[in-house]
Structure 1
Amino acid sequence: MSENRSHTLTLPERLPLLAVLGLKDTEGTDWPRLRALQYARVGRSSFARVGTHSVIAGLAFWISWGQVGAIALLAWLAALGCAASVFARQDHKLGKAAASTLSRKDAKHHAKGALAIGLVWSALLLFVAVTGQPGALETLWMIAMLVPVGSAIFLGSAPLSATVIILTTGSTAAGLFAWTGNVEAAGSVTILTALLLYGVMTRAEAFLRACVAEGGMAEKNEVVSLLLREFEENEADWLWQIDTNRRIRSASPRFAFAFGVEPEEIEGMPFLQLISGPAWDTGQFPTSLHDLAERLKRRENFSNLLVKVTLGSEHRWWELSGTPMLDQKGRHVGFRGVGSDVTEQRESSEKIAYLARYDTLTGLPNRLMLNEALGEAMRYARQWRSRSAFLMIDLDRFKAVNDSLGHLVGDRLLAQVSNRLKEILTENEMCGRLGGDEFAIVIRDASDAGTVSTVAKRIIDRLSQPYEVDNHTLYVGASVGSAVAPRDGNSVEELMRNADLALYRSKDLGGGEHCEYEPSLHASAEERRQLEFSLRKALERDEMVLNFQPVVDAHREEIVSFEALLRWQSKDHGFVSPAKFIPLAEETRLIVPIGTWVLQQACIEAARWPSHIKVNINVSPEQLIEPDFAPTVVRALAQSGLEASRLEIEVTESIFMRDAQVAGAALEEVMALGCQVALDDFGTGYSSLGYLRKLRFSTIKVDRSFVQGAAQGSNESLAIIRAVVAMAESLEMSTTAEGVETSEEAAMIRSLGCNKIQGYYFGRPMTDVDARKLVEPKLPGTQISL
């Protein structure tokens, strides 16, 4: 679009007088361009005005001869010629302004030329009024009034210049008539001047609005031409036309190009036959072709109709719009429309739809599609009064694979899991991935007794078999939770939630189990929710307390340390077992602030004990992976004044199953401070000598299960304790036996070589006050009476 059309011409509904005159620009209007159109019209009438002006000047000169001195009259004529010549040159210059813009300064300059013309004519009227005979002024005015009238006619599109001439000559004539006492003539001149000014203003505004309308129409025509040009140049769109027999007529080159042929090759060919391909012979048409044929048959308009066409051996998607054609008598003569090939867009849409409904890693249906499938299965069950089921599957020990071997190996393992699930399922079941290591099964018809249990057992058995991934042999199991509709839920959300509760129960049982939903699980889940809510406020409410259990020297039976044990006396739930709230705290990561509080309080209490007695504090893996664990230990020691050598951190083997590198680095920082680190519950988890090689533990604690087993004569437990003791001695570590409850067990442990003993025989967990009383009376060594 050209530069002078860069702005749309608009005018407000009401135009101010100054805006019409061109002395003020209103917002939203391209006034420079409008002024150019106004003065271009003036320039085109320049020769007509010059000729008319010459005739009027000649008549005025003839009438004024003898009324005004010859010299003065000749001087006037010369002045008029100069003013008219300058004004004509300005007209000629402005006549070229249609293709550009015009400023207010240019318009005012033109008005100055008009003022010169008006003043010259006013001077002649003045000369005649002063020196002429009575009645000469009236005679001259009869000729001179043609000047403002002509200005109103020829300069109407440029109202500022016309107004200047009309006001100058009109006010001069009215004033002179009033001076000479001809009041009637003065009044008529005033009325004429006002009428001329009104006419100029009206004509000028009409001209402006006509220019705006003309400019708008030109822009619309240009936009339409541009759109048509773009449509014709766009190879993806074409025009099509068929007659009443549905044969192609007036095939355009674009339309023929869509078929891959020349226009004359398809002219007169059946349209539907061409786009149906081999289906024309078999009669098995796509649904979209049936729809197109019906619309053509009913002679109705259609728009953006998606049609599957076959061109040779290739399938394409066309988007067609069509309108029936009628002749002058209103008879149907065919169809005409536009079309485009949208195959690429269709394929992209299908790909997006696939990604929205399928998991990219495993190729299984995702949560969205599982929701839809479960909803359909539940509707089927209601319709036929049968049952459907939903199974949630969670892989056991998968996190250990991810943490130890990386996410790439984990992803490949998930792909193998999905393949196994596909293999064992029938047409009655649909498998999908919910996310992470969670999968789900929708059983459409679970009416037969034992169907759900059979499928669950098949899943657990198959997924528990070893996997080979990147030269690694991996073992992961599966836990399954199930819910049956309509017994366990009447909506998709309810059934999925109940299956999740059952899965949570199977994980609590240790994994590798299938649990069916029971109403009691809701009570457990609600209890857990309330427990978590109270746990979040336990520290604020000062509900946490520390108990201390003594650890004694195996031979001297003197207290060498206390293990700090966390207890929770909830205002809402009463006493809550550590076995119940500690796992919850670890799962919700509340163990981090709680563990920090335990560390601080235990150090403060230990600082009150004799200097040879240490404090043992259990630390969760969740605490160790916190970046500021070591600084937290430093702050606790600094605030309490406890020597670092009197603090022993107890950890379990589970720290190596989370993020071994981060946990190991944190413990090394703690040991660098002078603190000691004990390995608790050794032998009960995934015990490995590699753990002992990674970190220099000060103590290995023998789990109470081995102590109880040895007391009952278990050769395996005795062998394990001897092996642990021997290994600890060779690594210059001490050993502590837990769970000693009788003197016989204490004697046995002593004979097996353990250095320290902990258990009810030597003291149950006690309050800080009782622990202090136990060690304060007998210093420096305190022996516990049996």
Structure 2
Amino acid sequence: MFRYVARVSKTPAKPSTARDLPVMALLGLCDPPEGDWDHFRAIQYTGLARYAILRVVTNLVLGLMVCQLFSGFVPLWQLAGWMGMLGASLYFPTVLYRHSGMVNHDHVARRFVLQLVAATSLIAFVWCVPILVFAPMATQMELAAVWTILAALVVGGTLLLNALPLGAFVFNLVLMAASVIAFWQGENIVTVGAIVCFSILLALSGFENARAYLMFKFSEQGLAEKDEVVSLLLREFEEGDADWLWQIDAGRRIVAASPRFAFAAGREASEIEGMPLTQLIAGKHWESGNLAPSLHILSDKLTKRESFSNLVVKVHGEEKTYWWELSASPRYDDNGTFMGFRGVGSDVTESRESAEKIARLARFDTLTGLPNRLQLTEALDRALKECEQWNCRCGFLMIDLDRFKSVNDTLGHLVGDRLLAQVSLRLRSLMGKDELCGRLGGDEFAVVMRDTGDGQRISDLAGRIIDVLSRPYEVDQHTLFIGASVGSATGTRDGRTVETLMRSADLALYRSKDEGGGRHNVYEPKLHSHAEERRVMEIALRKALEKDEFSLAYQPVVDASSESLVAFEALIRWSNPEFGQVSPARFIPLAEDARLVVPIGNWVLHRACREAVTWPANVRVAVNVSAEQLYEPDFVETVVEALSETGLAPQRLELEVTESVFLREGSRAGETLDQILALGVGLSLDDFGTGYSALGYLSKTRFTTIKVDRSFVQGAARGAQESIAIIRAVVAMAESLGMSTTAEGAETEHEVRVIRDLGCKKIQGYFYGRPMTADDVQSLFGGQQTAMFG
């Protein structure tokens, strides 16, 4: 195709009218700078060569007629010689053509055209012989016959040489001149005038005919080129990989089925030829009449004889389903009779499936296959609109998994993902026809209920969700126990918009989590005030450090046998002008959610070291450290900085951590604790036994102290054998590992006696003292270096 376009692009631009052709270029006397005029002259010569034999035959026949006319009074040898000259002049263009090297070329040089004009002039001069030599010996009747023959020759030459206008003009001019001379000698002035007028009119007519002929050739060539380009484009289109041509007759039957069309249908061309197009598309559903909506649209277009473009139809093949994109227009013959449709088609199955996949990804959660947040909000929006219309109630439940984070942290995200997949299956099994469950993200799920009736259905469904999701899970040979907390809101009572109703359910869920999880709470208006109070408290908490609203209280730790003071545990307190004294149980979880634990914890570390440095050298200070602090890259530098700034000896500082610091993936916590131990700082494992199995942690990290939780202390005081056994086991294990033990929460003398009998080395609790301010600690020492509590 590209080679062809390169060739035809060299032709001169087609003139809009015959008058646009330059006269001198048309005659072959010059070459305009624009266009390929060698190709233009090739068009001229093609027309000239087409009538070459006819011109030869015409000249020979007219020559024989002249010989027969003058045979009575002109010697035969003269006539024969003249016929020889005429034959030679007629043969000369053939010799010229063969020796020009122009055979099978589509370009003709201007020099060759001028040579053809010269050859034509030679023929004209040969014809001057009978006019000037033979005619004077003829009678008036014979002279009239000669003029008739010459007139026929001139007219015929003009018509047959219209492709070579300069040659026709010269041929006409030579014969006119000879005729004028001949009749002028006979003093036939009228005939001379007639010959001149006839010749001029004939020359002008011949020139116009030449122009018209060339315009016709231009148009003919242009049409041929267009036909060739269109044919080539259609062939390339048909041989392409994506699109094909299709055609149906007035009866909707496929005609001229192309191989590409048949391939797209998964059949042979002969098999689909004559088959109704709608039957081919319907496939196995043709007999049942269960047709796709897209086929109904196509059939309607065909019935109404309407053009259509980019119509996507579902095609049921013999083995699989396709998607075609069709465009077509109706066809009519010259009489306006409808002949069917002709159009193009393409297989868009891959792009359609990709679009459907993208649409599904946009509306479904990839991990669980449940509807995602987008689809849930759309469903809730529809439910709210139905409630407005029919004066009914809908429901929205938010579900948060309890203890899921610990599974994710201890066993990895892969196990967590598989656990979420099982949770989604259980949720799906609980849904009715008017209920839709989906995943909001993370371990949060939600349910949209189109109709809640009197509201009891919400409570019943929430109860079933908590019960079913709290049952054990088997994931990768692990038996896992998690739970679920649920918060619900009713539309349109608790919110008339999607955002408001979701916010209400979220507040109810937050209440369930605050109450320990495994519960269902219904939204109440007062939850908004609690949420607002929490928001205001968070703002105040963010400014508490700047305003110096935090302080530390210290609870004493004594030696179990001698009851001498050995340490204080630093406990943070917050006094706010608006909220008063805020319990750590309220603001510590808030600080964790607001990611304020690290700066607050660092402040506690520095303040405790600064205040403890004034105590007796044998009294240590214990500071609680959160997991978030340990996972900070510069936490060890923070400890070093606190010790160096305050001058506190590392041996007098003990950091208390809980088992939760080990629940995250990776070994950063263990590496950090090892670096702290290398500084000489002590480590205490707080709340031992209340969370997860920590024996592995004890073997990896050399803790200084293990703290026994107060729940075991109280249980042992009541005689609970399990608590007694646990305390004894912890004491024995600590002694074997070279660690000390501290019992927390001792409030009575009986509890202290039991703890001492079980072997705990240190005791902490209200029996020996409540948390006190730094000033009270300082006054406690007075002039003594050691204090006894009893």
TM-score by length of 1: 0.68
Contact 2:409 2:663 in 1 (8 A): yes
Alignment counterpart, residue 674 of structure 2, candidates 657, 668, 691: 668
Contact 1:562 1:615 in 2 (8 A): yes
C-alpha distance in 1 between matches for 2:376 and 2:646? 56
Cα deviation for residue 375 of structure 1 reads: 2.5
Q: Find the counterpart in structure 2 of residue 496 from structure 1.
A: 502
Alignment counterpart, residue 351 of structure 1, candidates 357, 366, 369: 357
Amino acid at match of 1:274: L
Report the 3-state secondary structure (helix = DSSP H, G, I; strand = E; otherwise coil) of the residue aligned with 1:540: coil
Alignment pair present for 1:533 and 2:553? no
Change (3 A) 1:704 1:257: closer
Report the 3-state secondary structure (helix = DSSP H, G, I; strand = E; otherwise coil) of the residue aligned with 2:420: helix
Moved more, 678-687 or 631-640: 678-687
Q: Find the counterpart in structure 2 of residue 543 from structure 1.
A: 549
Two-structure CA RMSD over aligned residues (Å): 3.6
Alignment counterpart, residue 505 of structure 1, candidates 496, 500, 511: 511
Contact 2:238 2:245 in 1 (8 A): no
Change (3 A) 1:320 1:776: same
C-alpha distance in 2 between matches for 1:41 and 1:424? 83
Cα deviation for residue 230 of structure 1 reads: 4.4
Alignment counterpart, residue 742 of structure 2, candidates 713, 721, 736: 736
Q: Find the counterpart in structure 2 of residue 405 from structure 1.
A: 411
Report the 3-state secondary structure (helix = DSSP H, G, I; strand = E; otherwise coil) of the residue aligned with 2:324: strand
Change (3 A) 1:282 1:772: same
Moved more, 697-706 or 748-757: 748-757
Report the 3-state secondary structure (helix = DSSP H, G, I; strand = E; otherwise coil) of the residue aligned with 1:608: coil
Alignment pair present for 1:460 and 2:466? yes
Contact 1:734 1:755 in 2 (8 A): yes
Cα deviation for residue 367 of structure 1 reads: 1.9
Amino acid at match of 1:491: T
Change (3 A) 1:234 1:637: same
Q: Find the counterpart in structure 1 of residue 295 from structure 2.
A: 289
Alignment counterpart, residue 687 of structure 2, candidates 681, 684, 689: 681
Alignment counterpart, residue 399 of structure 2, candidates 387, 393, 398: 393
Alignment pair present for 1:450 and 2:433? no
Amino acid at match of 1:243: D
C-alpha distance in 2 between matches for 1:578 and 1:395? 25
C-alpha distance in 2 between matches for 1:690 and 1:563? 26
Alignment counterpart, residue 474 of structure 1, candidates 462, 476, 480: 480
TM-score by length of 2: 0.68
Cα deviation for residue 557 of structure 1 reads: 3.4
Moved more, 677-686 or 707-716: 707-716
Identity rate, percent: 62
Change (3 A) 1:642 1:381: same
Contact 2:394 2:450 in 1 (8 A): yes
Q: Find the counterpart in structure 2 of residue 240 from structure 1.
A: 246
Q: Find the counterpart in structure 1 of residue 323 from structure 2.
A: 317
Report the 3-state secondary structure (helix = DSSP H, G, I; strand = E; otherwise coil) of the residue aligned with 2:246: strand
Q: Find the counterpart in structure 1 of residue 371 from structure 2.
A: 365
Q: Find the counterpart in structure 1 of residue 787 from structure 2.
A: 782
Alignment pair present for 1:611 and 2:617? yes
C-alpha distance in 2 between matches for 1:316 and 1:683? 63
Contact 2:553 2:572 in 1 (8 A): yes
Change (3 A) 1:248 1:631: same
Contact 1:625 1:659 in 2 (8 A): no
C-alpha distance in 2 between matches for 1:43 and 1:338? 41
Amino acid at match of 2:633: P
C-alpha distance in 2 between matches for 1:497 and 1:596? 34
Contact 1:413 1:469 in 2 (8 A): yes
Change (3 A) 1:771 1:388: same
Change (3 A) 1:653 1:321: same
Cα deviation for residue 42 of structure 1 reads: 11
Change (3 A) 1:232 1:764: same
C-alpha distance in 1 between matches for 2:37 and 2:340? 54
Contact 1:586 1:620 in 2 (8 A): no
C-alpha distance in 1 between matches for 2:35 and 2:307? 49
C-alpha distance in 1 between matches for 2:226 and 2:655? 83
Deviations 1:409-466 (A, max 9, x none): 2222222222222333333322222222222222232215421222222222222222
Cα deviation for residue 720 of structure 1 reads: 4.5
C-alpha distance in 2 between matches for 1:227 and 1:437? 58
Report the 3-state secondary structure (helix = DSSP H, G, I; strand = E; otherwise coil) of the residue aligned with 2:632: coil
Contact 2:412 2:665 in 1 (8 A): no
Q: Find the counterpart in structure 2 of residue 231 from structure 1.
A: 237
Q: Find the counterpart in structure 2 of residue 524 from structure 1.
A: 530
C-alpha distance in 1 between matches for 2:658 and 2:666? 12
Change (3 A) 1:671 1:222: farther
Deviations 1:476-528 (A, max 9, x none): 22222222222222222222222222222222222222222222222222222
C-alpha distance in 2 between matches for 1:362 and 1:404? 21
Amino acid at match of 2:635: F
Contact 2:239 2:260 in 1 (8 A): no
Q: Find the counterpart in structure 2 of residue 62 from structure 1.
A: none
Amino acid at match of 1:783: M
Q: Find the counterpart in structure 2 of residue 552 from structure 1.
A: 558
Change (3 A) 1:736 1:260: closer
Cα deviation for residue 353 of structure 1 reads: 1.9
Q: Find the counterpart in structure 2 of residue 436 from structure 1.
A: 442
Q: Find the counterpart in structure 1 of residue 346 from structure 2.
A: 340
Amino acid at match of 1:782: A
Amino acid at match of 1:240: W
Cα deviation for residue 291 of structure 1 reads: 0.9
C-alpha distance in 1 between matches for 2:697 and 2:508? 35
Contact 1:610 1:776 in 2 (8 A): no
Change (3 A) 1:274 1:705: closer
Cα deviation for residue 592 of structure 1 reads: 0.9
Change (3 A) 1:253 1:695: closer
Report the 3-state secondary structure (helix = DSSP H, G, I; strand = E; otherwise coil) of the residue aligned with 1:674: coil
Count of residue pairs the alignment pairs up: 588
Equivalence map 1:132-281=2 (5 Å):
230-260=236-266, 266-281=272-287
Contact 2:254 2:277 in 1 (8 A): yes
Cα deviation for residue 676 of structure 1 reads: 0.9
Deviations 1:731-755 (A, max 9, x none): 4333333333455554554454433
Moved more, 328-337 or 408-417: 328-337
C-alpha distance in 2 between matches for 1:746 and 1:245? 103
Cα deviation for residue 726 of structure 1 reads: 4.3
Alignment counterpart, residue 418 of structure 1, candidates 413, 424, 435: 424
Alignment pair present for 1:302 and 2:308? yes
Contact 1:570 1:576 in 2 (8 A): yes
Contact 2:258 2:269 in 1 (8 A): yes
Return the index of the structure with the highest Cα Rg: 2
Change (3 A) 1:390 1:226: farther
Report the 3-state secondary structure (helix = DSSP H, G, I; strand = E; otherwise coil) of the residue aligned with 2:667: helix
Alignment pair present for 1:589 and 2:595? yes
Change (3 A) 1:706 1:279: closer
Deviations 1:10-68 (A, max 9, x none): xxxxxxxxxxxxxxxxxxxxxxxxxx9948889999xxxxxxxxxxxxxxxxxxxxxxx
C-alpha distance in 1 between matches for 2:553 and 2:771? 5
Change (3 A) 1:223 1:441: farther
Change (3 A) 1:775 1:322: same
